[in-house]
A and B are shown apart, each in its own frame.
Chain A
Amino acid sequence: MNKIILIFLFFLVPVSVCAKLKVVASYQYIASLTREIGGDLVDVVALSQGNMDPHTVMPRPSFIAKAARADLLIVNGASLDEAWISPIITQAGNPAIRKGGTGYLDLSLCVRLFEVPASLSRAYGDVHPEGNPHFHLDPDNVPAIARAIRERLSKLDPPHSGIYTDHESGFKARWMKKSSEWSAAMKIIAGRKIIQYHSLYYYFFRRYGIETAGFIEPLPGIPPSSKHLSLLVGTIRSEKVDLIVQDVYHPDDAARYLSRETGARIVKIPHDVGAVENAKDIYLLFDEIILRLTK
């Protein structure tokens, strides 16, 4: 009987001695950024699809299988992915990727969060308790995220830390160049006021000096009532809003109603890599957002 157990255990021993570092990312933008830093040295998979609501991802059992064999799990954090990632971590039984483990990286800890609620109650909707978690949409936050990923990859794979550092500095140089292009392009609409569905693009619009005059959802996670929409019509008129920013996953009937009533233009923009066809990586995500806004 002992022999059988020994043979059984032998087959369980991982044979991947010189294999690539396995990285699992909660969202597509994280996976894209990790590919920039890790290059060929890492195997990256993202769990959620880019065109889905990042707040309500359905955890599939296949996520558990992926997380179980990961060397590194990178999450957005700030309670955006907590509700669907934590059961994955629990069931994966992989000690490395547990909170506090070397293979667990929470990106929300390397940026400053805004819109931190003064008081917490679900009477105010499904509020983000730590602050707005959609920080990756500020291009100025992306280098800090890239750095956190580089540091962790280097720590898990010290022999290649030089390569990761090279990748990061190359990425940063390209990113700065792109970022100044984006700033130039965004000048056209600077100072304008917009309406968005959820405070999804808070960091993006804050970066480019664009004010959000109102939200289609009356409270986070709560769909609009007709009363709220008629108030918004008033806001759009009085604040002279001419852009209604619509994400790809919420129904757009409310935006179309507002547009019909006020003549404001609807712009559907991606929020994550893969949300629309052209947003194929982290650069193209911002290219596409800015192209659509400034068209």
Chain B
Amino acid sequence: MKNICIFVMSVIVCFCSSLGYGADADKSVVENASAQTNYGKFIPDISLIIDFGYLYRNMDNGSFRNTVIPGTVYSSRALLDRSIYFPEQGAGHENGNSAVRGFNFNYGELALSSAVDPYFDLFAIFHLQRDGFEVEEAYATTSSLPLGLQVKAGKFLSSFGRINEQHGHVWSFFDRPLISMLIFGDEGLNELGARLTWLAPLDFYLLFGGEVLNGENEQSFGREGLKVLDAYTLVREQSGPALYTGYMKTSFDAGGWVFLAGASFARGETRKEYSVNEAQMTGFISAATMVFGGDLTAKYMFDSYRYIAIQGEYIWSVSKGRRYSAALDLDLTHLFTVIESPGCLLEQHVRRINSGLYAQLVAHFARMWGAGVRYDVLLQTGLKKYGRLPRYSAMIEFTPTEFSRLRLQYNHDRSLVRQYNEMYSSRRINNEVILEATMAIGAHAAHSF
């Protein structure tokens, strides 16, 4: 509660001072109006990115659909069903990124942005699928807060870690790293909320940020309640924001190298229903989850077009709480009707640790050509018996201009498991080759580090 108070107060303090400041800024805009001639356009910057490709995989579509990456917070026995990754996979499974063998439409991204007025900028990014159109991000940022403070509010990708905030088309590899997938899901930590950042007034880059978020992540966070027969509340529904993050990023230049390092923390409620193998069991988890992350990027420019970039990220999470499930083979929804016989309800303590990392090296060795390798590993997951679950990736890419890119990626994926039942599962090795084309039209995308 205290945390919220500080956050709200600082936002109010900043906003008030920004209004005072705004009076001056306004005048200067008027004075400069004659000098600034290229502001006739009030149409927002619009850009469209389309990503499509071709996939070869040694597993057929059905077998792939039945594999899972073991373990999230839900249960020590339950495996994370792949349908959580690709929501439409059960039926119209063709919707995901490189979901099927053959041609795939991965996604489209329509982005609009513009200054709202002297105080705010607005951004909206829509995620297009073959038969879906969703708001991926829609947020406002302040542009005239003093003291290096900035507020972002709306729906946005959390700044936790390095890769989470980036959109897929700027990643060096086609797919999300396993650990990000395991802890934050296929769409990353993308939340409704507000963020405050403070850029320290120093000669080097040092940024502190904090986010207050609803906390409705497909993998790690949720704020649902569990009520039985509309009367007996087992777990209260979280009424307000249930997820807080904090992070620090710093950067320095040293002898041609540019380093960017970050440390991130998130703490949220994990109150979610879960289901395993659809018909078999339904349960509810009520836990608190903490996630820690560290990331490092280093880039060396040989000249204007050639560089090498090293990037790595480590994420560790722990969830502690209780799990409610139906004893024996009862479905928890059935349990709601037989709650009078308390023997049917299993309440267990759960403590789950997930961790993993990825490390990648990318060399842009010619103006139009780049290549890279990535080692991706889950160190701690739900199923201890498999130990480390690695994936090895290599890619080569051709970028004729900054608006188009063709990429060929190979994955040797040893992170998948086929679940036959609660007790028995077996490991599956997946080899896949992905050819990906990414094209962008419209407003010139901002360059990023």
Contact = CB atoms under 8 A, between A and B. Distances in A.
Interface string A83-106: 110110011111100111110001
B251 A249 contact: no
B25 A62 contact: no
Contacts of A53: 304-305
A56 B307 CA distance: 13
Given A56-B304, A57-B447, A90-B141, A68 B148 contact: yes
A66 B368 CA distance: 31
B447 A87 contact: yes
A95 B144 contact: yes
A1 B6 contact: yes
A98 B143 contact: yes
B447 A249 contact: no
B376 to A, nearest CB: 25
Contact of A5 (B10, B36, B260, B301): B10
Main SS at interface, chain A: loop
Nearest to B249: A61
B298 to A, nearest CB: 12
A58 B449 contact: yes
A102 B251 contact: no
B36 A109 contact: yes
A69 interface: yes
B338 interface: no
Contact of A100 (B29, B201, B202, B401): B29
Nearest to B199: A68
Interface of A: 1, 5, 9, 12-14, 52-53, 56-62, 64-66, 68-69, 79, 82-84, 86-87, 90-95, 98-102, 106, 109, 122, 125-126, 130, 221-223, 249, 251
Interface in B1-48: 2, 5-6, 9-10, 13, 18, 21, 25, 28-29, 31-33, 35-39
B282 interface: no
Contacts of A125: 401
A222 B401 CA distance: 7
Given A60-B253, A61-B205, A100 B199 contact: no
A60 B251 contact: yes
Interface string B106-117: 000000000100
* Interface residue tally on B, bucketed by range: 35 or more
B386 interface: no
A95 B206 CA distance: 19
A60 B300 CA distance: 11
A60 B368 contact: no
Q: Which of B2, B38, B150 has the most CB of A within 10 A?
A: B38
Contacts of B387: none
4 closest A-B pairs by CB: A61-B251, A53-B304, A95-B144, A61-B205
Contacts of A14: 201
Given A1-B2, A12-B147, A53-B304, A62 B252 contact: yes
B143 A52 contact: no
Given A100-B32, A100-B39, A95 B146 contact: yes
B2 A62 contact: no
B445 A101 contact: no
B448 A61 contact: no
B449 A59 contact: yes
B257 to A, nearest CB: 10
Contact of B118 (A91, A100, A126): A100
Contact of A95 (B25, B260, B367, B444): B25
Contact of A58 (B5, B150, B301): B301
B258 interface: yes
Nearest to A8: B10
B175 interface: no
Contact of B444 (A83, A98, A223): A83
Contact of B203 (A5, A13, A65, A223): A65
B134 interface: no
A87 to B, nearest CB: 4
A8 to B, nearest CB: 9
B401 A65 contact: no
B142 to A, nearest CB: 8
Contacts of B10: 5
Contacts of B149: 93
B199 A64 contact: yes
Nearest to A99: B36
Contact of A102 (B28, B33, B299): B28
Nearest to B141: A90
B441 interface: yes
B121 interface: yes
Contacts of B133: none
Given A1-B6, A92-B199, 4 more contacts: A61-B449, A83-B444, A84-B446, A95-B146
Contacts of B147: 9, 12-13
Contacts of A95: 18, 21, 25, 118, 143-146
Interface in B136-191: 141-150
A263 B138 CA distance: 58
A272 to B, nearest CB: 12
A1 B446 CA distance: 40
B14 to A, nearest CB: 10
B365 interface: no
Contacts of A65: 199, 202-206, 251
Given A62-B253, A100-B29, A83 B201 contact: no
B447 A58 contact: yes
Contacts of A68: 148, 199, 201
